[in-house]
Structure 1
Amino acid sequence: MRTRATTAAATLLATTTLLLTACGSSSDDAPSDKSPIAGADTGSSTPATPSATATADNIDRPSLKLPADVKNVFEGGTSGDPVKDAVLADNERMINSIDEAITVDANEHPALKFYNKDNALIAAATYIKTYYDSGTTWTGMTRYYDRKVTLAGEKAATMTYCADETKSYSKDRKTQKVKNTPGDADDYVSYNTRMRKSAQGVWETVSVVSRRGAEECQR
């Protein structure tokens, strides 16, 4: 489970500069006993590519790799609408970019800044930093489902979805010890995001609102 503590706005702003030039950071909550956090050991990483949702494009995208013990599963990757499918694909990349910044130690995480902008980037940077500050990472699998896209013109969209973190666990970054905490209601999270299409054609996430213990996601 990735439970996070609320962080003050001032801290969000102060954190951003630090994280965007180093390990990065994510949402506005702090990791708990069951936070999915993978360790600093990233020897065996696997590409984190959208699940057959994205059609080929000419965008020069940064590479994305997650450790072998970290997996995000995205359900409902295609809608039949090419624009909505592009939104779904970049949402996957956004989520993976945050988890890469949490689980992979590196001087920079270009994908994080590529798919997250404005308030979403500030929140992402802060969230990621909570993992590094607590000396944790995550391991296991997180499932994303009930993913719905609503278009608002040609360059704006909203997206709602659920996350099931019952099979993702907190891991000590130094010792690599995993806390296999039993799942509970807080492991189910609902998300509401705003996205915009950049001049380059990327659907960037500009804001994210999340709610833990969401009843509509508990299935």
Structure 2
Amino acid sequence: MRTRPTTAVAAALTTAAVLLLSACGGGGSDSTDNDKIAGADTGAPTSASPTPSASADGIDRPKITLPEGDTLVFSPETTGDPKTDAVLKDNAEYLRAIDEAIGKQDPKSPAVAFYSKDNAYIGSLQWIGGFVKDGTTVTGTVRYFNRKVEFSKDGSAGLSYCADESKGYTKDIKTKKVNVTPANKDSYVLYNDRLRKNDKGVWQTTNSSSERGSEACQP
């Protein structure tokens, strides 16, 4: 299970409704100057990679590479409904961008800003920053399943899903030691995210809440 030894910023992460609240640990820098943080207020995409590439929908998306040994599995990846699938894809890329940023030790990763804004983005800065502070990265496999999308009249989308972190771990960057922890009830987390489509056509995650040990996600 992906946890970090520090707990000082748990309350801050809860307040920010940060994505992956208890999956990989929290913490890190407390950024308050949103004007200096790309995407904190508007979520405006920035050049998230040296070589962004146009996807099938014509959007120039950042090229994301997960840390060595890190695997994220999404089920379902697609449903056959184009609008629903677009939400699932962009949220998956957000989760992948966070892991990439942890691997690169880059709290202000432009890729994270590309796929998020508001509370989700600000919380991610704190989240990733905690790994930088601890000198740790992520490894192993995390499985996201039971992914369900519901659209609201205001144009936003709600996405609920479970995470199986029983085989996802943290790793010390210097020593390469993997912190392998036994699986238990708390290895399974229920997430509820809110996404909104920006003017570029990207479904950005704007908010997230989680429940570790949720009965809805137990095997």
CA contact (8 A) 2:105 2:131 kept: no
CA contact (8 A) 1:196 1:205 kept: yes
How big is each residue's C-alpha offset from its partner over 1:83-126, in whole Å with a ceiling of 9 and x where there is no partner? 00000000100110111111124596221000010000011111
* 1:216 counterpart residue number: 216
- Cα 1:157–1:163 shift into 2, 3 Å: same
* 1:81 counterpart residue number: 81
- Cα 1:12–1:199 shift into 2, 3 Å: farther
* 2:123 counterpart residue number: 123
CA contact (8 A) 2:68 2:139 kept: no
* 1:7 counterpart residue number: 11
User: Cα distance, 1:148 vs. partner?
Assistant: 0.1
- TM-score normalised over the length of structure 2: 0.77
User: Cα distance, 1:79 vs. partner?
Assistant: 1.5
- Cα 1:174–1:13 shift into 2, 3 Å: closer
- Cα 1:107–1:13 shift into 2, 3 Å: closer
- Cα 1:170–1:17 shift into 2, 3 Å: farther
- Cα 1:3–1:124 shift into 2, 3 Å: same
User: Cα distance, 1:136 vs. partner?
Assistant: 1.5
| Range moving further from structure 2, 145-154 or 186-195 | 145-154
How big is each residue's C-alpha offset from its partner over 1:182-217, in whole Å with a ceiling of 9 and x where there is no partner? 111111111000000101100000001011111111
How big is each residue's C-alpha offset from its partner over 1:23-77, in whole Å with a ceiling of 9 and x where there is no partner? xxxxxxxxxxxxxxxxxxxxxxxxxxxxxxxx82111111111123000000111
* 1:28 counterpart residue number: none
CA contact (8 A) 1:16 1:126 kept: no
- Cα 1:75–1:107 shift into 2, 3 Å: closer
* 1:134 counterpart residue number: 134
Q: How many residues align?
A: 186
Q: Percent identity?
A: 46
* 2:162 counterpart residue number: 162
CA contact (8 A) 2:106 2:129 kept: no
- Cα 1:211–1:16 shift into 2, 3 Å: farther
- TM-score normalised over the length of structure 1: 0.77
- Cα 1:66–1:17 shift into 2, 3 Å: farther
Gaps of 5+ in 2: 17-26, 38-54
* 2:52 counterpart residue number: none
CA contact (8 A) 1:169 1:180 kept: yes
- Say what the alpha-carbon RMSD is for the aligned residues: 2.6
Task: Return the letter of the residue paired with 1:193.
Answer: D
CA contact (8 A) 1:73 1:141 kept: yes
Counterparts of 1:110 and 1:121 in 2: how far apart (Å)?
10
User: Cα distance, 1:141 vs. partner?
Assistant: 0.4
How big is each residue's C-alpha offset from its partner over 1:112-153, in whole Å with a ceiling of 9 and x where there is no partner? 000010000011111111111122112100000000000114
- Cα 1:122–1:177 shift into 2, 3 Å: same
